[in-house]
Copies of this chain bind each other. A is one copy, B any other.
Amino acid sequence: MHHLEHHGLAGLSLSPLAEAVGTSKRMLLYYFGSRENLLAQALAASRPDAEAMFGTVHDAAGLHSAARALWEAITVGRQRGLVRMLLQLLSLATTQPEPYGALAADAVEVMVGPIAAAYVRLGHAERDARVRATLLVSGLRGLCQDRLVTGDTDRIDAAAHRLIEDATSPAG
């Protein structure tokens, strides 16, 4: 019962979430103690998924294909819901640093860290690798949000593929 959070977490309120997972608001608070703790544990439970999603990157060719696979996973694939959740989290963090700021910063690190490590393995200096990873990850995130808002999949998929090409070309 504990790991069904990705069903909801959209409305972020307990009653609809409880109904979605087939229990009651009362039980959620009984198990998790508070809404804040529930959110933290849901994110903690999603962390392995997110790490796996960003961790399958190894070398230059791998970075390119992994980035394309990543884009597909977050737009039409299995991780669509998770990414929506992370987008919400980042937005919440900008308006309510407490308690979301730390969780959001951690989420950013989960995304940027593995990509930066891949760039380091390609011979880039640590800081340069993090800058490149930031560009790729935040760029894809912005594009993903645009895609959710406008639904203009052709335009945005093309932009995403161009970003991936730029970010993973040997010259880049």
Seen from chain A, the residues whose Cβ lies within 8 Å of a Cβ on chain B are 10-11, 84, 87-88, 90-91, 93-95, 101, 104-105, 108, 127, 130-132, 134-135, 137-143, 145-146, 148-150, 155-156, 158-159, 162-163, 166, 172
Contacts and interface: CB of A to CB of B under 8 A. Distances in A.
List 6 A-B pairs, minimum CB-CB distance, nearest first: A142-B142, A91-B91, A138-B142, A139-B139, A135-B159, A134-B159
This chain: copies in complex: 2
A126 B93 CA distance: 36
A91 B87 contact: yes
A121 to B, nearest CB: 19
Contacts of A130: 155
Q: Does more than half of chain A's interface fall in helix, strand or loop, or is it mixed?
A: helix
Given A139-B163, A155-B131, A145 B105 contact: no
A145 B93 CA distance: 10
Given A10-B95, A91-B91, A108-B149, A135 B131 contact: no
Given A138-B139, A138-B159, A94 B131 contact: no
